[in-house]
């Protein structure tokens, strides 16, 4: 960690953190020295990226090969009508650059897959999975567990969201919690999603990343946080490491990020 003192501008900018005993100057310097890769710059990625940049994460990777569509504007808060047709990663980087010049922004116009996941996450301190499909979540989980990289992963559907933190071998991985993928849900534009739900879940993703980057622990290792904004409820369930897990169990069989077959849920 760099021992260089914060500049006068940084001291003023991050005073809210400096006043917290749990973060302070040391924690803020850790954050400025840290790197976070965000997989997906959509509903979850937009608020997560905004708070990570504001908080002073030193290097922020924005991985997404998608372009801004009009249907995204209901919930993906970094984009506007002027950005239609432009790449999400590049638009987000330009927007965040105006927010905090301390942050090195790395737009990555690429789709993560089983064949490139290990290379894409290499060198990053933390990974946030804000993708919108189960297939990507399993691949990101595999790559992070095999590389020993902390992973914060979340998902949303209609009025509900989930968040957990994977820090193998300290707790279960995504495959321990979901040994087999459930049927793939329809995308948000078809199934519907409350506009503010990604903000709630994406902010929690950023919160866990900030805590880890500052040198604190996450209380979501071994816990699955369940959010229901229709009922205004938050609850968590304990989840345990599966000794028989093919990835992180006692006799693992997965040696590289592996794609999973996901079936589309039947229509009602």
- pLDDT one-digit tens code per residue, 78-130: 999 999 999 999 999 999 999 999 999 999 999 999 999 999 999 999 999 99
Alpha carbons 28 and 141: distance in angstroms, whole number: 27
Q: Output the pLDDT for position 4.
A: 81
Q: Output the pLDDT for position 180.
A: 86
CA nearest neighbour of 207 among 140, 145, 152, 129: 152
Taking every pair of Cα atoms in the chain, the longest distance, rounded to a whole number of angstroms, is 59
Q: Output the pLDDT for position 268.
A: 47
User: Digits of tens for pLDDT over the chain (268 positions)?
Assistant: 566 899 999 999 999 999 999 999 999 999 999 999 999 999 999 999 999 999 999 999 999 999 999 999 999 999 999 999 999 999 999 999 999 999 999 999 999 999 999 999 999 999 999 999 999 999 999 999 999 999 999 999 999 999 999 999 999 999 999 998 877 666 666 788 999 999 999 999 999 999 999 999 999 999 999 999 999 999 999 999 999 999 999 999 999 999 887 756 554 4
Q: Output the pLDDT for position 2.
A: 62
Strand, helix or coil for residue 197 = helix
CB-based burial, 19-50: b 16+ in 10 Å, e otherwise: eeeebeeebbbbbbebbbbbbbbbbbbbbbbb
Pairing of strands 59-63, 104-108: parallel
Q: How is the chain split into domains, by residue range?
A: 13-238
Is 188 one of the catalytic residues? yes
Question: 63: which strand partners?
Answer: 39, 108
Alpha carbons 144 and 165: distance in angstroms, whole number: 11
Catalytic entry in 144, 173, 176, 188: 188
- Identify whether the C-beta of residue 96 lies closer than 8 Å to the C-beta of residue 55: no
Alpha carbons 209 and 197: distance in angstroms, whole number: 19
The dihedral of CA 62, 68, 69, 70: what is its sign? positive
- The CA-atom distances, in angstroms, between 83 and each of 65, 107, 121, 163, 243 are 14, 15, 27, 29, 47
CATH class of the 13-238 domain in this structure: alpha beta
Alpha carbons 147 and 135: distance in angstroms, whole number: 19
Q: Which residues contact 84 (CB under 8 A, 6 or more apart)?
A: 68, 69, 70
């Amino acid at each position: 960690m760099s021992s260089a003192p914060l500049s006068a501008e940084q001291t003023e900018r991050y005073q809210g953190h400096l006043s917290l005993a749990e973060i302070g100057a040391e924690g803020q310097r850790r954050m400025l020295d840290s790197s976070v890769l965000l997989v997906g710059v959509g509903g979850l990625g937009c608020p997560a990226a905004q708070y990570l940049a504001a908080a002073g994460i030193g290097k922020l990777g924005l991985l997404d090969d998608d372009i801004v569509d009009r249907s995204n504007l209901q919930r993906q808060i970094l984009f506007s009508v002027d950005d239609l047709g432009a790449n999400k990663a590049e638009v987000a980087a330009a927007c965040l650059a105006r927010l905090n010049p301390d942050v090195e922004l790395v737009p990555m116009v690429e789709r993560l897959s089983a064949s490139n996941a290990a290379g894409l996450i290499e060198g990053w301190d933390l990974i946030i999975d804000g993708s919108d499909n189960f297939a990507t979540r399993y691949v990101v989980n595999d790559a992070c567990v095999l590389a020993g990289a902390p992973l914060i992963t979340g998902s949303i559907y209609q009025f509900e969201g989930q968040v957990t933190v994977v820090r193998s071998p300290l707790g279960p991985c995504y495959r321990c919690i979901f040994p087999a993928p459930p049927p793939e849900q329809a995308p948000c534009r078809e199934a519907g999603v409350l506009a503010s739900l990604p903000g709630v879940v994406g902010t929690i993703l950023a919160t866990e990343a900030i805590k880890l980057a500052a040198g604190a622990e996450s209380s979501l290792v071994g816990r699955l946080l369940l959010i229901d904004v229709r009922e205004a409820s938050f609850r968590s369930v304990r989840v345990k490491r599966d000794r028989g897990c093919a990835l992180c169990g006692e006799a693992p069989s997965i040696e590289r990020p592996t794609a999973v077959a996901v079936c589309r849920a039947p229509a009602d």
